[in-house]
Amino acid sequence: MKICIYAHSFPPIIGGAQTYQYNLAIGLGKLGHEVLVLTGDIPDSLKLKIKDYKSSYFKVVRVPGFRESIKMKAPFRDLLIDSFNILKKFDPDIIYSNGFIPCLLISMIKDSLRAKHIFSYHSTPELDVNKLVGIWPGNLEFELSIAKFIFKQRSFDAYLACSNNYLNTVKNNVDAKIKNAHRIYYGVDMKKFSFEIKVNREKYGFSDSDFIVLCPVRFIERKGILDILKAVSILKKEIPNIKLLIPTSKLSTNDKFAQSILMLIKKLKIENYVSIRADEFGIEDMPKVYALSDIMVFPSYSEGLGIISLESMSMKKPVVATNIAGINEVVIHNKTGMLVNIKSPKQIAESVKLIHDDKNLRDRLIKNAYSITEKEFELNKQVKKVEKLFIEVYGKNK
């Protein structure tokens, strides 16, 4: 088949959704499909790092102003006509749109294309802070209106949710009668994220005696980074060799909140225990980052699913995470990891200490997590499920 992935940001600079799209493009290409990624420009500050992401499995066409238009910060007149002309020339069998606004734009031009349209969104649902579509956070009534309009039009042939959390959010808040909805989980490349990878810690500024806690999150409040910092402040007395490693990116970072993070680190006097690495690691570097660590902590307040949990489990790193929708579909308490309440630094510290001290517990969590990841979330298996859906939708609607 000829498949177009219509996504505003590609390849993965930061974030699980971008990683998913990248993996899907490669996976479908490996299966023999012709894949075109129609997307926006790479930010100037990151262009040098993106060269490594070129692949023989897909082709990328970048449209100027795509990112700004999708975020409704610029008119989408040019984007619409450019997208139409590119799609008309490529003549895809399937258009896979990622996000509510990309779905809306494809809906406007779909009738002049023979392609079938499959819609998926990856903006983390945060209904408690009035965010769904993700363009107008703080105004849930307006965002719900946009979402309901898009689903009411039925301009897509299938809806693909990458977790029960995404699926239930739509069913419960947008369209209770949604038809042709499917749930296919994200997948992790277990060959790439392999527990057999070894690294030299000294190369990254750590020693073999350090107990490295990994927290790969962006500097936005919902990621719970303040809680892990407070937990480290508690743990430094009980685990003197503890080091917190935070690989992050300045992209999508809230500058004001970033300042509050630095202020808290200073206030807690944990400067010597925290290592922040901004834009130092790309997606291809992440297996080495996991290999550096002893444990991964995921203290988020809301997630669609949380690919970093799967990556950690694939690399046999124990996981401590918050007990929230999405994450708890992967991390099962006391089986594949330890779950804690949101905004609970003390519980995070207790769980980390427990795993640090109890080898039997640690080994059991790692073994169970790896087994479930291999069975339920291995990338090639998940891509084949997506391929099957695409073939069914294309064949059913020809």
Question: Would the pLDDT of 13 be above 80?
Answer: no
pLDDT tier at 182 (50, 70, 90 boundaries)? very high
What residues does each domain of the chain span? 2-187+378-396, 201-376
**DSSP letters for 15-67:** SHHHHHHHHHHHHHHHTT-EEEEEEEPPPGGGHHHHGGG--TT-EEEEETTHH
Taking every pair of Cα atoms in the chain, the longest distance, rounded to a whole number of angstroms, is 65
201-376: CATH architecture: 3-Layer(aba) Sandwich (3.40)
- pLDDT higher than 60, residue 397: no
Q: Say how far apart CA 275 and CA 93 lie, in whole Å.
A: 47
pLDDT computed for residue 251 by the predictor: 67
Q: Binning pLDDT at 50, 70 and 90, where does residue 335 land?
A: very high
Name the fold adopted by 2-187+378-396: Rossmann fold (3.40.50)
Query: Which strand (E) or helix (H) includes residue 359?
Result: helix 359-376
Percentage of the chain modeled with pLDDT above 70: 95
Q: pLDDT (tens digit, 9 = 90+) per residue, 128-166?
A: 777 888 888 788 899 999 999 999 888 899 999 999 999
Query: The tokens of 38 are what?
Result: 């129609």
What are 338's two structure tokens? 């330890």
Query: Encoding tokens for residue 166?
Result: 């995404």
Q: What is the pLDDT of residue 47?
A: 61
CB 355 within 8 A of CB 365: yes
Q: What's residue 154's pLDDT? A: 81
Q: Give me 382's structure tokens.
A: 């998940």
Question: Is residue 256 packed enough to be buried (19+ CB in 10 Å), middle (13-18) or exposed (0-12)?
Answer: exposed
Residue 170 has pLDDT above 90, yes or no: yes
Write down the pTM of the prediction.
0.92
Lowest mean pLDDT among 7-16, 121-130, 269-278, 345-354: 7-16
Could you check whether 2-187+378-396 and 201-376 share the same CATH topology?
Answer: yes
Structure tokens at 53: 């992401």
Q: How confident is the model at residue 396 (pLDDT cuts 50, 70, 90)?
A: low
Q: What is the mean pLDDT of residues 53-58?
A: 84
**In whole angstroms, what is the distance from residue 319 CA to residue 313 CA?**
7
| pLDDT value of residue 46 | 62
How does DSSP classify residue 356? H
Answer yes or no: are the C-beta atoms of 217 and 253 closer than 8 Å: no
For the range 57-64, what are the long-range contacts, defined as Cβ-Cβ under 8 Å and sequence gap of 24 or more?
A: 57/25, 57/26, 57/28, 57/29, 57/30, 58/5, 58/25, 58/26, 58/28, 58/29, 59/35, 60/10, 60/36, 61/36, 61/37, 61/86, 63/38, 63/39, 64/40
Residue 274: closest CA among 231, 221, 329: 231
Beta bridge partners of 212: 243
Q: Which of 174 and 14 is assigned the larger pLDDT?
A: 174
Confidence of residue 125 (pLDDT cuts 50, 70, 90): confident
Name the nearest CA neighbour of 289 among 358, 192, 368, 357: 192
Q: What percentage of residues in the chain have a pLDDT greater than 90? A: 74
- For the stretch 106-121, pLDDT in tens is 999 999 999 999 999 9
53 confidence band (pLDDT: 50, 70, 90) = low
pLDDT for residue 57 is more than 80: yes
* 105: nearest Cα among 142, 71, 143: 71
The residue assigned the tokens 């031009």 is: 109
- Each residue's pLDDT tens digit, 211-242: 999 999 988 889 999 999 999 999 999 999 99
Q: 290, 193 in Cβ contact below 8 A?
A: yes
138 and 131 Cβ atoms separated by less than 8 Å: yes
